[in-house]
A and B are shown apart, each in its own frame.
Chain A
């Protein structure tokens, strides 16, 4: 069974090629079926490998499969190989299962769109690239998947290409991540030059053997890798692309910009965590950056009026939590939050898409209202997703993963408590901004017309994910709530044993209270109409500043875009060419001067010849 591992990325890749070549001929029904079934098969394969794994784990819990030698040169070789360990298995499961559900959702959601088969070709290609990313056993191969998902994200964000703003958003998302990727590429070059290999395991072993903790090389290398990860995961200061990326179809946002691709940075750090352990300063920086991100994004999420933008900022903020866990070395906590976040955020996005679908693609929450009775399925799904995002105690998955992170942060050495406090503040804000959406959209009077109905292909993913968002948290529970450790034990072979460190009883208690407080704030402000009033009155400068994501866009425009465009404008007519045009001008001037001598009179020519001869002879004689 496990020997068919290569089929998992190969299936969606193959179907993507088929759809790309023959999609227009096959028609929408077949295209959708091919796209969904290929990912479905991959999911079935992944689940059976996972089940087999649990019953018969391979030696050291590692399974390697070398497909072929990609590049073999003296002193530098790269094998195209797959590396399956608990971490990548978890990623594969999430990608294929959630990917399959989102494909299924898309077949109904995208119904009647132009380029239906193109959409599935891109989406399958994305799944294949993402699987390659998580399964790669070599950083260079990982980079192939890394850029591959970036391009698919670009193509899918700009899927509705006739709208120029979509194209702009797509380009922005690609270019910002590309900037990060170049740093990552530099990191790869540095690592491969210094350690002689990019094979992840060999590289890590080599790094641990050669470099001492805190020395310069691992710090530089991990910083470079980290920049790549920050870009992909939309963390400060490279986060600006994510809200704009919401221009794509909503299932795309669910799959790429919530569940899978944006967590690639987290995966990268976990995958190379042995290297990061050699660079404690970088880990500290991760933690600080994560706190900044999660607060900035949470504040920004508080004032958005577009439902997808709220979710985009919340994604940023939640990935901030994952990075916070990474910063304190709580790898399983990060992975656990990745898992629960993938489930509930995919659910939230899909539900948002499902709502907008029935409201003639309305995404402004203040244009909605009272949808609870009209769209019961969407209401319950969104409520469950929101509860999970807000980390509502006990009943939601998000609670357990966030608790695991905050517990680990609180137990971390010195700045731990400050970071934890920020995390709690973030948790309050999270609950506030998401329940602001819930109350605005589902309570109050009905404001819009609701049309159509949900088919089974929308209902199944929503229900499945809702169930997931309720139960998946029980894989790992803190002391006092069962002390379940299935999840961290599963990951132990890859990332080491995870200890739930003892913390003061206040810590979990405040973790309990924070979401409830947030929901309370949201409800009070909803009841007294503050949320709704904010849209009708002129927003204050502060609101505008926060709504724009704390001005990063404006700053980058001034810092990079404007100088770049100026440079392009200056250079566009090729100044070097003008220099050569100067030579041409010189020739023309000389020509004008000299042609005055060519008057067509033989006698004049003869005199000149004579004069020339005399001069030559004179020079010869007297020199």
Chain B
């Protein structure tokens, strides 16, 4: 892949999903996209770019491309300190604040194969704070392939590297050497395909009390990051929480969130005095 081909593909990817790759990523792109060239019978990356842009099947191929370049690595109970802050500090606050409506919605944005979504659902059940509440955990990802895995809810050993054995026994059923999420957990969870830069579609989720977006913003361009975070702000209920990955911050993105210092983590919070999600 020459420099010009790299530049064209990097631009097309950024335009489609906000993911920003450096112009030095030619080797990475070549390694990931070569099987697509072979599958389509194309002889150069310029042909591939033109196929993406101008062929009637280009939009579908762009989805294939995104499947090839995105990282889907995840597991249950990832980033334990943050989940402890969620369980021990955020959930009691929400249980108190939302006790009249008795409904709680959590969105896992960029949920990959679903481990985070089911982890959140298990933590809601484990807290014992929400019996009889209307609980929803929504997972979204740009990749339809990972969402199919999430919906199937069947996991191998690799997904359990930090799962306490007692929780695995409690919330999973073993089947043919793999583990299936129990139905009472699954029934709280739903999944949908969503390109995060299509912020106008966020309203399908309704108002959210917590948004998990861990290790996703880091792949986006500054402009896309700003747009997505502003849309998260709009989706959150006043006092709602935004949880990012441990290496991510909203520095240089927005100042609209409060930085809440919890015992176990620093998290972002929409001010209690802010407006509720727009109902337009």
Q: A and B bound?
A: no
Which residues of B line the A interface, CB within 8 A?
Answer: none
Which residues of A line the B interface, CB within 8 A?
Answer: none
